[in-house]
């Protein structure tokens, strides 16, 4: 028994921990708890807190109104999961897009918000970084409006706390959105990703974040009596660890005495954010990647999950599939948008061909555009194309022959 206990202790010590955290009393900005608060971490969807800050600022300055109708661009529609399922050309109100992007953490909605404010995502990201500099977030750099994996993206627990406090103090009415359990967008009920609701008394915000490299993080707001606590904890390997630590930080914050005031970091961190490896341990991480992660997140990290499975058990022979046939575009088509890599595009085409069964003569096509991989099935009749898009339940556009063959059609751009 002692031998097993020692072995467990050694294994535990060999496993790196990346928790970076801070607890702030929002009443006066006192820091109650901090641990590696200036250590570089990947923000994941906590980057959407800055998307919210810039968007709220644009509303306040009269640049855009909440009820402005926004036409969805191909770039927004092509964002990877987690997504609302917006289709190119559809119109939604700016307010509905904000709700889906911030409450449900939908990436397509967040990019649509960015484009509505600044014209394109790159210009919006510049505004995000300018705002971060103004707030004293010296260890933060944003590379997109979603927090999806992108070189150069980085932040810290202290910087996320500075941003969260600025949101709550400068835009108190708008920030009430983070307290919503769900919102309505595109006829759907979009639920919050915040695990504190229903588990922690007084929980009233703010935002979660996850990618395999970033791990699980949260910026949480808790209001208990006359105390308002902001907790930020980053770099956890699974959701359960994040929730446990969030609860522990709340308890520590309630009990802690004053230490100092929330301020920008004194030192600038120069090292790169670590890869938390939330999907990279075997066999435990396979369970995380396949059960703890939502189906939409799993789709985004399908290749990583496949690699994990193969490292734990012998790889299974690939299932037979209908071979892809490349030929000139013809008939009606079903377009599935852009993917981050060819394996994801091929997986969607395999799924589509399998669902067609014996209906029509499917032909598949993969083409590259702007760093993404487009996936298309064609050679169908109208009924088969419509049935296919209905069955996929993901991004899918039915292309009539005149649209399929039009070199200027939006799907080609």
DSSP H or E stretch at residue 332: strand 332-339
Q: Tell me which residue range forms the domain holding 394.
A: 332-412
pLDDT value of residue 41: 93
pLDDT at residue number 287:
42
Helices then strands (H, E): number in the chain? 14, 14
CA dist 381 to 111, 333, 350, 392, 400, Å? 33, 8, 19, 17, 9
Query: Are 396 and 304 part of one and the same domain?
Result: no
Residues 61, 183: one domain?
yes
Please work out, in degrees rounded to the nearest 5, the angle formed at the alpha carbon of residue 152 by the alpha carbons of 150 and 153. Answer: 70
* 323 within some domain: no
pLDDT in the model for residue 262: 61
334 neighbors 400 (Cβ within 8 angstroms): no
User: Do 292 and 250 lie in a common domain?
Assistant: no
Provide the pLDDT for residue 296. 47
42 vs 274: CA distance, rounded Å: 8
Number of folded domains in the chain?
A: 3
Report which of residues 410 and 196 the model is more confident about: 196
Claim: this prediction has a pTM higher than 0.75: no
Do 68 and 139 reside in the same domain of the chain?
A: yes
Per-residue pLDDT tens digits for 148-188: 988 889 999 999 999 999 999 999 999 999 999 999 988 88
Let me know whether 292 and 368 are in one domain.
no
Q: What are phi and psi of 169, to 5 degrees?
A: -85, -40
CA 112, 115, 116 angle in degrees (round to 5)? 85
Q: Indicate whether 374 and 257 sit together in one domain.
A: no
Q: Which residue among 73, 83, 105, 164 is the active-site one?
A: 105
Q: Mind listing the pLDDT tens digit for each residue in 201-225?
A: 889 989 999 988 899 999 999 988 7
Let me know whether 48 and 194 are in one domain: yes
Q: Has residue 291 got a pLDDT over 90?
A: no
For residue 289, pLDDT beyond 60: no
Task: State the number of CA atoms in the 13 A half-sphere of 51 facing the CB.
Answer: 37
The mean pLDDT value for 13-32 works out to 81
- In a shared domain, residues 112 and 221: yes
Residue 309 reports pLDDT greater than 60: no
Picking from 234, 261, 288, the residue at the C-terminal end of a domain is 261
Give the CATH number for residue 375: 3.30.70
Instruction: Name the catalytic one among 48, 83, 106, 239.
Output: 48
Residue 102 has pLDDT above 70, yes or no: yes
b/e code 263-290 from CB counts within 10 Å (16+ = b): eebeeebeeebbebebbbbeeebbebbe
Q: Contact, 392 vs 352, CB < 8 A?
A: yes
**If pLDDT is split at 50, 70 and 90, which confidence band does 327 have?**
low
Q: Which residues contact 51 (CB under 8 A, 6 or more apart)?
A: 101, 102, 110, 113, 114, 124, 128, 145, 146
With a cut of 90, say whether residue 331 has pLDDT above it. no
Q: What is the 3-state secondary structure (H, E, C) of 106-157?
A: CHHHHHHHHHHHHCCHHHHHHHHHHHHHHCCCCCCECCCCCCCCCCCCEECH
pLDDT at 90: 93
- 83-105 burial string, b = 16+ CB within 10 Å, else e? bbbbbbeeebebbbbbbbbbbbb
83 is catalytic: no
Residue 264: pLDDT band (50, 70, 90) is low
> 338 and 300 share a domain?
no
Residue 7 lies in a domain: no
Q: What distance in Å separates the CA atoms of residue 361 and residue 375, rounded to the nearest whole number?
A: 17
Confidence class of residue 23 from pLDDT cuts 50, 70 and 90? very high
Catalytic, 27? Answer no
Q: What is the pLDDT of residue 392?
A: 78
Q: Which helix (H) or strand (E) holds 391?
A: helix 382-392
Q: Whole-number mean pLDDT of the chain?
A: 81
Output the pLDDT for position 396: 86
- Which stretches does DSSP call E strand in 348-390? 363-369, 372-380
Q: Are residues 173 and 231 both part of a single domain?
A: yes
Same-domain status, 210 and 250: yes
Read off the pLDDT of each residue in 113-133 and give the average, rounded to a whole number.
94
Under the banding of pLDDT at 50, 70 and 90, the label for residue 407 is: confident
Closest CA to 85 of 212, 190, 226, 192: 190
Based on the residue annotation, tell me whether 45 is a catalytic residue of this protein: yes
Q: For tokens 């922690």, what's the residue?
A: 200
Residue 5, domain member (yes or no): no
φ, ψ dihedrals at 389, nearest 5°: -65, -35
Q: Are residues 157 and 294 in the same domain?
A: no
CATH number at residue 176: 3.40.710.10
Q: What is the pLDDT of residue 69?
A: 95
| pLDDT > 90? residue 372 | no
Q: Collapsing DSSP states into helix, strand and coil, what is residue 195? A: coil
CB 21 within 8 A of CB 245: yes
pLDDT for 187 equals 85
**What confidence tens digit (pLDDT) does each residue in 142-154 have?**
999 999 988 889 9
Please list, in sequence order, all residues whose beta carbon lies within 8 angstroms of the beta carbon of residue 292, skipping any fewer than 6 positions away: 238, 239, 240
């Amino acid at each position: 028994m002692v031998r097993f206990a020692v072995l467990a202790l050694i294994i535990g010590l060999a496993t790196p921990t990346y928790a970076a955290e801070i607890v702030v009393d929002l009443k006066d900005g006192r820091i109650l708890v901090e641990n590696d608060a200036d250590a570089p971490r990947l923000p994941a969807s906590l980057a959407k807190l800055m998307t919210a800050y810039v968007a709220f600022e644009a509303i306040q300055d009269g640049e855009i109104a909440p009820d402005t109708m926004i036409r969805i661009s191909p770039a927004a529609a092509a964002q990877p999961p987690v997504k609302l399922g917006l289709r190119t050309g559809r119109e939604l109100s700016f307010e509905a897009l904000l709700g889906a992007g911030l409450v449900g953490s939908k990436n397509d909605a967040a990019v649509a918000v960015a484009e509505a404010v600044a014209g394109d995502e790159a210009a919006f990201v510049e505004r995000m970084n300018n705002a971060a500099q103004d707030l004293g977030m010296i260890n933060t750099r944003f590379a997109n409006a979603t927090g999806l994996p992108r070189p150069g993206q980085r932040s810290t627990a202290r910087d996320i706390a500075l941003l969260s406090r600025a949101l709550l103090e400068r835009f108190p009415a708008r920030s009430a959105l983070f307290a919503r359990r769900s919102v309505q967008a595109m006829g759907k009920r979009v639920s919050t990703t915040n695990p504190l609701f229903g588990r922690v008394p007084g929980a009233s915000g703010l935002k979660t974040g996850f990618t395999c490299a970033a791990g699980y993080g949260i910026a949480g707001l808790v209001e208990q009596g006359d105390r308002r606590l902001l907790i930020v904890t980053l770099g956890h390997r699974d959701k359960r660890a994040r929730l446990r630590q969030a609860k522990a930080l709340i308890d520590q914050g309630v009990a802690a005495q004053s230490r100092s005031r929330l301020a920008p970091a004194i030192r600038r961190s120069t090292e790169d954010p670590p890869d938390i490896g939330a999907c990279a341990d075997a066999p435990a991480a396979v369970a995380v990647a396949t059960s703890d992660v939502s189906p939409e997140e799993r789709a985004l990290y399908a290749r990583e999950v496949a690699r994990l499975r193969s490292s734990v058990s012998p790889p299974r022979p690939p299932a037979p599939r209908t071979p892809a046939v490349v030929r000139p575009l013809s008939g009606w088509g079903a377009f599935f948008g852009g993917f981050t890599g060819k394996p994801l595009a091929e997986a969607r085409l395999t799924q589509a061909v399998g669902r067609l069964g014996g209906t029509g003569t499917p032909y598949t096509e993969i083409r590259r555009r702007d760093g993404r991989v487009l996936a298309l099935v064609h050679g169908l009749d109208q009924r088969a194309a419509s049935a296919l898009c209905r069955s996929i339940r993901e991004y899918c556009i039915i292309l009539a022959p005149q649209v399929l063959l039009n070199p200027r059609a939006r799907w080609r751009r």
